[in-house]
Structure 1
Amino acid sequence: MEQNGGATGSGTISNGAGATGPKGGTPATGTAEPDAASRIAEIRVRIDEIDRALIELWQERAALSREVGATRMASGGTRLVLSREQEILERFRSALGADGTQLALLLLRAGRGPL
């Protein structure tokens, strides 16, 4: 998670290196050094692109998962398949550690709803 020294979700939103933060004098990039502020602004553009892609993929994955569940139940199957969920949890845990497990749990819930 990116940290900029400010409170999450409050203050001024910035997409430029020279913009100021919530107090009017602190740069929104967390640094007053122009080269560093410029680089941070460039990196944030890419972070925003990745975030948009992640959101899009999250929504697509959830829709596909709901379709799988609906198809399975319509054919007389179970609401979920625990072995499949365990496979997904392990894949994320192996790749990302404990945070991966938490991410996988959120993905699974987005697709099937709470248990």
Structure 2
Amino acid sequence: MNATTAPAAPAVHQRAHERAADAEWTGARTDDAGRVVSGARERIDALDDRIIGLIQERMAVSAVIQEARIASGGRRVNLARETEVLAHYRDALGRRGTSLAMTMLEMCRGTV
């Protein structure tokens, strides 16, 4: 096949607004609802990217703290501080906030 007869390569990613009418992708039953879902998903994707970046930043800062604590003869983990963090998340987000904080703290403990 040459360039003029080869089938067009499928688009790897369609823009969300192009998929707005795709009920299977959005789960919406109307085009208007599909556009709302599509736009909201774009915003969620952007928020997720920011959250991931913040978690990565938190992990790096936590590693600095752990290294300093260990270098001074202390322990890698400060359970009193972790309890404060858990309470902060619980107070702000409810019971599920505690679960989120536990996961985040586990990720931030690292291997220092």
What's the CA shift for 1:14?
A: 6.3
What's the CA shift for 1:26?
A: 4.3
Give 5+ residue unaligned stretches, structure 1. Answer: 1-12
Q: If you compute each CA radius of gyration, which structure gives the higher value, 1 or 2?
A: 2
The RMSD of aligned alpha carbons is 2.3
Which residue number corresponds to residue 19 of structure 2?
Answer: 19
Q: Select which of 69, 72, 75 maps to 1:72.
A: 69
Give 5+ residue unaligned stretches, structure 2. Answer: 1-12
Which residue number corresponds to residue 87 of structure 2?
Answer: 90
Which residue number corresponds to residue 32 of structure 2?
Answer: 35
**Cα deviation per residue 1:18-49 (whole Å; 9 max; x = unaligned)?**
539xxxx8431001300000011111111011
Check whether the contact 2:86–2:102 (CA below 8 A) recurs between aligned residues.
Answer: yes
Give 4+ residue runs of structure 1 displaced > 2 Å after superposition: 13-20
What's the CA shift for 1:78?
A: 1.5
Q: From the two aligned structures, give the one with the greater helix fraction.
A: 2
TM-score by length of 1: 0.76
Check whether the contact 2:16–2:42 (CA below 8 A) recurs between aligned residues.
Answer: no
What's the CA shift for 1:77?
A: 1.2
Aligned residues: 99
Check whether the contact 2:28–2:37 (CA below 8 A) recurs between aligned residues.
Answer: no
Matched, 1:59 2:81: no
